[in-house]
Amino acid sequence: MMKHHIVTPLLLTLALALPVAAQLVPAAKVTGVIAPQKAATLEFQYTAAGISKEALAETSAGGFAYVVSDYAGAKVAQGKAPFANNTVTLTLTLPPGYYDVTFPVLKQTFGLISLATLKGQKDPFFCLDAELSWLAPEQQSADPPDDRPRARRQRLMTLMQQLSVDIARERLIWHDLNTGVGKFNWEGSLRFDSLRKRYALVGLGVLEAFDDTPEYLLHPTPSRTPYPADLVATSQAWAAIANRWKDAHAGIEVWSEPDARAYYGNLLPADQYVPMVKAVSRGLSSAKIHTPVGGGALGSLDNAAFLRGLSGGGLLRAVDFVSFHNNDGGGESVREQVAACRKWLTQAGADGMEIWITQSGKSWPLKPGERPTAAEEAASALSIVAKAIEARACGVERYFPFSLPPSPDDKRVFAMTDNDGLPLRPLAAYGACIATLTNRAYVGDLALVTKWTREPLVERAPVFADNATAVVAIYCDSVKPGQNKSGPVMCDWDLELPILHVLGIDGRELKPVTDGGRTQIPLDDGVAYVFVSVREVDKHLRVDTEAMRLTRLARQVHTRQPLPPIVLQHLPDFASVQTSSHGYKITKGDAKNWPIAIRVNNFSYEEELTLTVRAYAGATAATAASAKPLAAKTVTLEAGKNADLTLPIDLTQTDNEVLITIGDDHNELDRLLIQFVKP
């Protein structure tokens, strides 16, 4: 859900709006995470702007009344926070879990996470879609000076550190950074350079995502494609960017949802996207920069034609991982997506390639001036954690919940923190998931036939274990947290497997209910972590699960081969076709003599090359020994240059797919699959 515009402060205010003239603002040292069962002092700066008569009365009385409620909304504490020197101070001692601190007279609520800091090495699976460049910008200048944006950005970075997040997904506006050949404004308008250096300083990796092109690299108007025309210059630009930020970068993700994003009113086929990915990857390879490159960033795994265009066009040769998004889905949807992705990779001969889910969230309706309800937050938390559990069980390499700051559009908002950078329930739930599952591997499902006092039914319970403890991660997508009007949701525990303890979705302790020998696990949150002995769980495990099959595929060794120095590029006449993600529909011209215009890009800077470009009918034709090309041309390429040529093709002799290859008599150096749609 990347956007081609900079999100304005007004739009952010609408997303999770506290009053613009908020009376309380968290002090810079308040991060939103406190240590369990230890006294924590919280300070809020106070401004009298727009203050009510009731608040003024409390100010005169020396403090503000507050109420502390837990994840489920139950009141756990109340008191009066002293007010002096424009500062409101309160001290709280809280057990593990999430809490809302509300000042009723001010109509302001702030979230807190009580969670112990993890010891030891971070788990690379647990990442976060942070978007600080776009959604938590620092002001370049302000009159009068305003320290809140800087404090908010720092608070968000500290939150990620405290929760042991491994990689933050960021956004780069390429055209803002790179204005010409060799011309870079590294800070840009949003302090890109400063932020990435800060990430490197605190040990947080950055997944750099982008989906725009500088004007100097675009095709001449009216090309109707957002992708770069000059791939040699593209590779040079990304070599420079990757070299500048190599200490921060943990990956580069090329584009966002090319299968689902319309440009100039139309979707584009895969052949328009693939060459750019190759150019970026080739740039890093030439500069001997080993930052992983990712492709896809798919909006779905349902478009078989687009997937075939990606793999048939050689995308998987150019990337270290493939990625996709899951917004507003549940845990079961992730398993289905991973299965579809693995099927595609297996068919393309790329078993074992890493899968990253780089955007995973659940939105709620945008309500200007209002904070989300507890039920809306809890539903988002359940979705994010259920998908994390499934992704972990299915062998996904990295998982990025979306989005750390509020990310609004016209009708909805994704968020894990409020406008001040303090946590909401989704972040608390994800933090507890990290703390619970870090460095514990999926070992199978519990052979648990769950019976419910009320619908719905849980069908599986993944188990994660280390050498000491096993955790049964029970979840149910269809539970509606905070809306279970018929009473508590309970899951029967009908195994002879002793329970050590149980945690709720936010890490708070839950007590199993035992009545007449029957044990039940509270599941009002939709998630419960049941801790059991690792030695005793084995006899109850099922290992013949779909998740285990997918995990075994993920564990296969996949080694990316070196990229050849040649990249093919399709230059269609957009005035003669209608485009979609499935291919080109000819609207003007003769299909029996269709000109396919190809640009051949030579990334070798040392030698001139003479090669043959061939066109075949279908994606697999070139692999057949008897296959004859539909057309062929020889091209001589200068070092570091490109050359254009046209192949006349009789499309009626194809099955609406034309494979373009280039090479000599012995080796294929590149390929591109061009797809057509029947009139």
**Minimum mean pLDDT range among 217-221, 231-235, 412-416, 645-649:** 217-221
The pLDDT value given to residue 488: 84
pLDDT band at residue 216 under the 50/70/90 scheme = very high
The per-residue pLDDT for 458 is 65
Specify the 3-state DSSP secondary structure of 130: coil
Taking alpha carbons only, the member of 625, 619, 633 closest to residue 663 is: 633
Q: Which residue, 365, 402, 481, 419, is CA-closest to 110?
A: 419
The total number of residues written for the chain in this structure: 679
Neighbours of 540 (CB within 10 A): 18
Q: Which DSSP state fits 228?
A: B
> What are the Cα distances from residue 131, in Å, to 173, 197, 321, 458?
12, 15, 21, 34
Q: How far apart are CA 132 and CA 408, in angstroms?
A: 14
**Mean pLDDT of all residues in 138-152:** 70
Mean pLDDT of 204-222: 92
Find the mean pLDDT for residues 380-409.
96
Adjacency order of strands within the sheet including 631-637: 631-637, 609-617, 657-663, 668-675
Whether pLDDT at 258 is above 50: yes
User: What pLDDT score does 10 carry?
Assistant: 43
Q: What is the pLDDT of residue 49?
A: 60
The per-residue pLDDT for range 421-474, each reduced to its tens digit, is 999 999 999 999 999 999 999 999 987 644 444 444 565 799 999 999 999 999
pLDDT value at residue 666: 85
CATH number of 566-675: 2.60.40.10
pLDDT value of residue 184: 98
Q: Which of 123-127, 321-325, 574-578 has the lowest mean pLDDT?
A: 574-578
pLDDT band with cut points at 50, 70 and 90 for residue 2? very low
Q: What is the mean pLDDT of residues 355-375?
A: 93
Same topology, domains 9-17+124-437 and 566-675? Answer is: no
pLDDT for res 438: 98
* pLDDT, position 490: 86
What is the CB neighbour count within 10 angstroms for residue 167?
A: 27
> Cα dist. 318→54, 104, 506 in Å?
63, 56, 40
Q: Could you tell me which residue, 678 or 77, shows the higher pLDDT?
A: 77
- In this prediction, residue 679 has a pLDDT band, given cuts at 50, 70 and 90, of confident
| Count of H-run helices and E-run strands, the chain | 14, 40
Helix (H) or strand (E) holding 307: helix 304-312
Q: Tell me which H or E stretch contains 234.
A: helix 231-244
Q: Which pLDDT value is given to residue 433? A: 98
pLDDT of residue 12: 46
- Residue 671's DSSP bridge partners are 661
- Three-class SS of 59-80: HHCCEEEEEEEECCCCEEEEEE
pLDDT higher than 50, residue 298: yes
Q: How many other CB atoms are there within 10 angstroms of residue 247's CB atom?
A: 12
pLDDT of residue 51: 63
Distance CA 385, CA 600 (A): 46
Q: What mean pLDDT is predicted for residues 275-287?
A: 97
**Structure confidence at residue 171 (pLDDT):** 96
Q: What percent of the chain has pLDDT over 90?
A: 75
Could you tell me which of 555, 543, 545 has the C-alpha nearest to residue 351?
Answer: 555
pLDDT for residue 48: 65
Average pLDDT over residues 248-257: 97
Sequence-ordered list of residues with C-beta below 8 angstroms from that of 65, at least 6 positions apart, any chain: 58, 78, 79, 80, 81, 103, 104, 105
3-class SS string, 254-299: ECCCCCCCCECCECCCHHHHHHHHHHHHHHHHHCCCCCCEEEEEEC
**Region 551-569: what's the mean pLDDT?**
93
User: What digits encode the pLDDT tens for the residues 580-617?
Assistant: 999 999 999 999 999 999 999 999 877 888 999 999 99
DSSP 608: -
pLDDT higher than threshold 50 for residue 101: yes
Q: Which strand (E) or helix (H) includes residue 676?
A: none
Contact 64, 56 (CB under 8 A): no
**What pLDDT score was predicted for residue 67?**
97
Rounded mean pLDDT, 380-406: 97
- Other CB atoms within 10 Å distance of the CB of residue 361: 25
Q: Given a cut of 70, is residue 316 above it in pLDDT?
A: yes
This prediction's pTM: 0.94
Q: What is the pLDDT of residues 486-521, one digit of tens each?
A: 778 888 888 889 999 999 999 999 999 988 888 999
Which of 29-38, 333-342, 660-669 shows the lowest mean pLDDT across its residues?
Answer: 660-669
> What is the third-level CATH fold of 441-545?
Immunoglobulin-like (2.60.40)
In the predicted model, is pLDDT for residue 575 greater than 60?
A: yes
Domain boundaries, the chain: 9-17+124-437, 441-545, 566-675
DSSP string covering 328-362: S--HHHHHHHHHHHHHHHHHTT-TT-EEEEEEEE-
Confidence of residue 321 (pLDDT cuts 50, 70, 90): very high
CA distances from 304 to 252, 278, 312, 583 (A): 25, 21, 12, 12
Most confident region among 76-90, 128-142, 154-168 by mean pLDDT: 154-168
pLDDT score at 516: 80
Among 335, 329, 381, residue whose Cα is nearest residue 526: 381
Q: What is the average pLDDT across 73-96?
A: 94
Are 175 and 213 spatial neighbours (Cβ–Cβ below 8 Å)?
A: yes
CATH architecture of 9-17+124-437: Alpha-Beta Barrel (3.20)
- The answer to whether residue 145 scores a pLDDT higher than 70 is no
Distance (Å, rounded) from C-alpha 412 to C-alpha 393? 30
Quickly state the pLDDT bin for 13 (edges 50, 70, 90): very low
